[in-house]
Amino acid sequence: MRKCSNILIVGGGTAGWLTAAFLAKTLSTNDNNSIKIRLIESPEIGIIGVGEGSFPSIRGTLAAIGISEARFIRECHATFKQGIHFCDWVRPAGADSHLGADHYFHPFSQPSQRSDTPELLPYWLHGLAGKESAFAQAVTMQKRIADASRGPKRSSDKDFLGPMNYAYHFDAGRFALLLADHARELGVQHLRGNVDAVHLDETGTIASVQTKEYGELHADLFIDCTGFRARLIGEALGSTFKSVSDVLFVDRALAVQIPYAKPDQAIPSYTISTAHKAGWTWDIGLQERRGIGYVYSSRHSSDEEAEQVLRQYVGAGMDHLQARQLKLQIGYRPTQWIKNCVAIGLSGGFLEPLESSGIGLIETAAYLVSFLFPYNGDFEPIAKTFNHHMNERYERIVDFIKMHYCLSQRRDSAFWIENTANNSIPESLQDKLRMWRSRPPSRLDFITDLEMYPPSSWQYVLYGMEFSTQLPANLIHPDQVATALQEFKNIALVAEHALKDLPDHRQLVDHFCRKA
């Protein structure tokens, strides 16, 4: 078996450069300096250039590859993201407000859990936090902090740490450029050329790729980061694509960038996701502009209707702007690693951007390639392990995203009627929801290593969507009721202090931009 020491990454979007930087950093620290990493990207095919919301795992990834928080924020025009604010997902805009709130929050911070207090969820379900108190509001102070335009950390806090859990919003094009600079600094060789053909040997292993610019390029491991084209894993190796469009309906996106009217405009530290009749809009605040997009189902809306929805959402700011349209393939390849080729990024799959799973999945895949790295050239067992992990993750993310749709009380369009019909809900999700009707979700429902989203995320969405759980009596311990009640009060009290302690979000961002 030939040693694996020569890696060729094809594609220079977020997936390609993030993988390049991660492998350059982590494989070389494995005391194996002879590994050579090259990345080839087409000068003709651009990157997708969207993907402005991230998940808190990004902080660990940036730290691992050695990019400082200040450099990232400055160069990617980044802001902080403390969660997602969902509007009109439970019922349509303008529905009777007596029915409940028209919005809910999915914060990144976990529910408060001190060693001397019980888990708060059963006590919240029991009504101890007050009938009107939303779950996310009762169990963490993050919503109050985000609502008050405060950042998740103080400027004196160490890189990537703060009292609140957080991720970022950033300019996707700039992020790819920063990653590219950094990967080159770490020794990755950058080639500009087009892979025109892929040569397989008699065993179906990739022997080389053909380029006009450099002729034939050989490698031991090929990483396919060619985006939706999937030039290696799909076109050359024929890995099948499993569409999940029967579960997740959106397949088009319209995106625009709207400059702020004033340079010092307040920036929300959360993504605003607003549901519409055939999809939803994202609204993300960066340093100098908002990134806004409408993701919709082409089965339920024409492109013209979609453009109207986006224009109505944005208002006058879009008068002279043209939205960019993107066609989405929603699904994934159950086999993402075949022989000596592994797919990372959109070439492996994409599950709509509702909970920013795209970059999170790239981080997971890059980590797995590094952790499982086939130094001895024995790809087979590693491919199996990789495929198992990624497959399981994708399935769980499908369930998590679908939960946002299928718990809706909206029935105002075919999109919502079909989204809430049982035949569009995977059995795995139906099973979970059935269990959670008679008891709240518990950590035992989740295999942490295969989940992108922690149990608390499921809980925030579930109860934000007004899901009803019959609470079993054994989950309430009479001698803990007073402690739980006190903890709900403490959370509100500590939030008051935190509001004074934490800086204004824009000022925090400005601080990082000025930092050397």
Contacting residues toward ligand FAD, per CB under 6 A: 10-16, 40-42, 45, 47-48, 50-54, 172, 194-195, 225-227, 229, 231, 253, 293, 326, 328, 345-346, 353, 356, 358-359, 362
Across 48-192, where does the E strand assignment appear? 79-81, 83-87, 103-107, 167-169, 189-192
Nearest approach, Cβ of residue 55 and ligand FAD (Å): 7
Residue nearer to ligand FAD on the CB measure, 151 or 227 = 227
CB of 76 to ligand FAD, least distance (A): 13
CB of 209 or CB of 484, closer to ligand FAD: 209
- Nearest approach in angstroms of CB 359 to ligand FAD is 3
Residue number with CB closer to ligand FAD (16 or 56): 16
Cα separation, 146 vs 82, in Å, equals 7
Q: Pick the closest to residue 408 from 417, 399, 400, 397 (CA basis).
A: 417
CA distance 146 to 148: 5
> In terms of CB distance, is 124 or 313 closer to ligand FAD?
313
Report the DSSP pairing between strands 289-296 and 279-285: antiparallel
Nearest in space to 262 (alpha carbons), one of 468, 463, 506: 506
Mapping DSSP to helix (H, G, I), strand (E, B) and coil, where does residue 432 land? helix
Closer residue to ligand FAD in complex, CB, 154/199? 199
Specify the long-range contacts of residues 232-236, CB closer than 8 Å, at least 24 apart: 232/10, 232/195, 232/198, 232/206, 232/341, 232/343, 232/347, 233/333, 233/336, 233/338, 233/341, 233/342, 233/343, 233/347, 233/348, 234/333, 234/343, 234/347, 235/198, 236/198, 236/200, 236/206, 236/341
- Other CB atoms within 10 Å distance of the CB of residue 50: 18
Compare residues 8 and 139 and give the one whose CB is closer to ligand FAD: 8
Name residue 484's amino acid.
A
Shortest Å, Cβ 324 to ligand FAD: 9
**DSSP-assigned letter for residue 332:** E
Q: How far is the CB of 151 from ligand FAD (least distance, A)?
A: 20
User: Distance between CA 230 and CA 242 in Å, rounded?
Assistant: 13
Q: How far is the CB of 190 from ligand FAD (least distance, A)?
A: 11
In angstroms, give the least distance from the CB of 362 to ligand FAD.
Answer: 6
**Min CB(210)–ligand FAD separation in Å:** 10
**Residue closer to ligand FAD (CB basis): 54 or 456:** 54
List the structure tokens of 105: 């929050």
3-state secondary structure of 140: coil
Is the Cβ of residue 125 or residue 167 nearer to ligand FAD in the bound state? Answer: 167
Instruction: Pick the closer one to ligand FAD by CB: 19 or 340.
Output: 19
> CB of residue 149 vs ligand FAD: minimum separation in angstroms?
21
Backbone angles phi and psi of 272, in degrees to 5: -105, 120
CA–chain centroid gap for 129, Å, is 30
59 vs 144 by CB, closer to ligand FAD: 59
State in angstroms the smallest separation of the CB of 448 from ligand FAD.
Answer: 20
Identity of the residue, 235 or 445, whose beta carbon is nearer to ligand FAD in the bound complex: 235
Nearest to 295 by CA among 311, 278, 316: 278
Half-sphere exposure of 188 (CA within 13 A, CB side): 32
Amino acid identity of 159?
D
Distance CA 319, CA 31 (A): 57
Q: Is 360 exposed, middle or buried (0-12, 13-18, 19+ CB in 10 A)?
A: buried
Q: Which is nearer to ligand FAD, 54 or 142 (CB)?
A: 54
Coil, helix or strand at residue 123: helix
CB of 73 to ligand FAD, least distance (A): 17
- Please, what is the minimum distance in Å from the beta carbon of residue 250 to ligand FAD? 9
What does residue 283 show for φ and ψ, rounded to 5 degrees?
Answer: -145, 110
